[in-house]
Structure 1
Amino acid sequence: MSSDVILRKPGSAATEPPAEAPRARWRSAARWESGLVVVLIGVLIFGSVRSPTFTNPSTIFFLGINTGYIAIMALPMTFVVMTGEIDLSVASMLGLSGATVGYLWHHGWGIWPCFLVALLVGVVGGALNGILVAKVGLPSIAVTIGTLTLFRGLAEVLLGSDTIPGIGDREFPSWLTNIGANSIPGSQFSWSMVIFVVLAVIFGIVLHFTTLGRSMVAIGLQPEAAEFAGIRVNRIKLWLFVLSGVLSAFAGILLTMQNASVSYSAGTGLELNVVAIVLFGGVSIFGGRGTIVGVVLSVAIVGSLQMALTQINVSADKQNIVTGVLLLISVIVPNGPEAVRRLRDRFRRPTRLA
C-alpha cells in the first residue's frame, strides 16, 4: 500500500491528489537543493577572496577533520526528523561514548573491547530515548533534553576532571590515532569524511529507494494514516533512535581517536550544529520532507563557512552566531507556509457532519 495516504473528512475532497503529493515534495526539495548549490558557490567564493589559504588542498583535510564526526551524527538525525521527532542527546552520547572508552582504557581494557562497550552504550542510550518516545508516548524534545543532561552527567561521573590518557596511562594505539588525525594516503580526505560519504550513500538509498524510506516519509506526513496503512510507526521510531545512539557513539570513538585523548566535555554544544545542518539541508522540522543530497550540501556549506571564518580569525562565539542564523533560516524559510497552514487548520472550526 502506498505511503502517500491522504486523510479526508467525510464528504470532502483532498486538497492535493495523492499522485501529485510526491511530485510537489520533489519539486520543493529540488528548489531548496538548487538554492543550496548557489549558497555553496557563494561560500567558496567568499572563502577564496577573504583567506589566501582557503584554496590550499589542506583545507579539504581540515574541513573533514572538523566536521566529519558531526556530519555522521547528522545522518541518523535526518531519519529521526523525517518522522517528526528530534534527538537532542546526540552530542552528549558522543561525549559519553568517548568517556566510556577513556574509563575502560584507564582501567586496563584492550582498545577493541573499549570500542565495543562504547557502541553498546550507544544502543542502550538510543533505546532509552526510543522507548520513552515511541512506547511511552512522551514528546521527543523533552525526552532528549533530559537524556542530554543524563548522558553528559554520566560522562562526568566516569572521568571527572581527568583527561585520558593521563599520567601513568598507556597511550592509545598509534595506528588508530593516525587514522583519526591523518588523511587517507595519497589524498587530502580525512577518514571521518570518507566514512560520512559512504554512510550518506547508504542512507540516501534507504530513504529514497526502499519501503522503509517511504514509511518514514509517511510517518512524518501523517502518522495516523501511516498506522492505518499497516506501517509499524512506533517500532520504526524506536529503531531510529537506537540508530542515532549507535552512530553518535561511533562518532565519539572517531573523535577520541582524532584527539588521541578524551574528557567528559567532548562534543559539548554540538547538538545544535547537527540540528542546524539537518534543517538547513531542507529536512522539514514537521517531518515528511527532506533529502540526503540536501544534508550533504548543508554539510559542505557549514563546514566550508566555518573553515573560512576560522582562517580569517573570526572567534568561535561569533561563529556560533552564524550557526544560529542558519538554524533560523532553515526553520523559517522552508517551513513558513506549513506553519501558517497548521495554524489556520488549528483555528478553523471543525466541519459538522450531516
Structure 2
Amino acid sequence: MTIKMIKLDLASVKKWVLKNPITFECLLIFLSCVFVYLANDQSSASGDTWSNSQLAFNWLFNNTLNFDDFRAVFSNRHLPHSLAEAPNGHLTSTYPIGPVIVTFPLYVIFSAYLRLIDWLHQFSSYLDIPGVSLGSDIPSITDSEFQSYRASFSKLAATLSTSLSVVIFYLAVRLKFNIFIALITTFIFAFATGTWTVSSQHMLQHGISNLELASIMLCLLKVHRSEGKNRKILLLTAGFFCGLLPATRPPCLLFVMAIVFYSLFTYRRDAVFFLVGCLSFLLGGIWNTYYFGFSFKTLIYGGYINHAKGNFGLSSYIFSLDQFLKSF
C-alpha cells in the first residue's frame, strides 16, 4: 500500500512538473541559490548593515522609525556608519530607505516568528512543567543580545531577496533566449558576480537594487507580449520599482533616467501608467526631506550628505568635472 502511494505521489509530481515547467525551473533555481548562499553559515556584523536590518524591527516592535531609543546603546562608542544625527534632532539611517521598503514583508514574517517563540517561552514558563521548555526568551531590540538575531535575519533577508532577483533575472532572459542560454547566463549572474559574495550575504543596497532592476527588465519585456489591463499593470509595476531605485541606491538615478527615456519613447500614451508607478520615488523623497531638509541634494542623497562631509570630503555622488576626472 505504501509503495503504491509513493508511486502515485511521484506520478503526480511528474505530471505537475510537465504541466508547469517554468514554475518548476524557478523553484529549483530559487532553492539552489538559497542553499548555496546560506551554506557558509555566517552572519555579517558590519555596521553598514545595521540600519537596514534594524529599522523594520524598530517599527514593528517599538512603533517608531527613529533610532532615538538606541542612543544609550552607542553612548560609549562611535555610531555605526549606517546611523546619522539628522538636523531635525532624531537619530536616523544614513542610507536610503529603499532596501527597508522592499524587504519589509520579510521582516513582518520574522517579527511574527520572534513574537511566537517568545510567547511559547512565556507559556511554558507559566505551565511550569519540569523538563518542558518551549520557545525562547527574546530580548528587547535595543538590547545588545538582540544583535545576534538582527544579524541572522539580515543574512536571511539578503539571501531570500537575492535568490528572488536571480529567479526574476532568469524569467527575463528566458523570454529572449532558449533554456540553455538562460541557465548559463543566470548561473553567471548568481554565482560569478557580486550577487553571491556581496548581495546574498549582507543587507546592503547592492542586492535590492539588483532585484528592482531585474523586476523592471522582466516587466518591460513582458509589456511587449501583453495587451489591455495586463499591459497597464506591468507598466505600473515597472514604474513602481523604477521610482524606488534612487531611494535604494542614489547612483541608480542614471538607470532611472535611461529607463524613463526608453519608456516614454517606446510606450507613448501608455507610458502614463509607468510614470504613475514612478511616484514611489516620493517614499524616499519624503523620508529624506523629513530628516535632512528640503533641497535637490537631500531629496536624492539623504543622509549621504552629512556622512560624506564628515568622513570623505568629496562625495562619490557629486556630478562635477572634478569628480569625473578623479574617477579615472
TM-score by length of 1: 0.22
For the pair shown, which has the larger CA radius of gyration, 1 or 2?
A: 2
Using CA pairs below 8 Å that are at least 6 residues apart, which structure has the higher relative contact order? 1
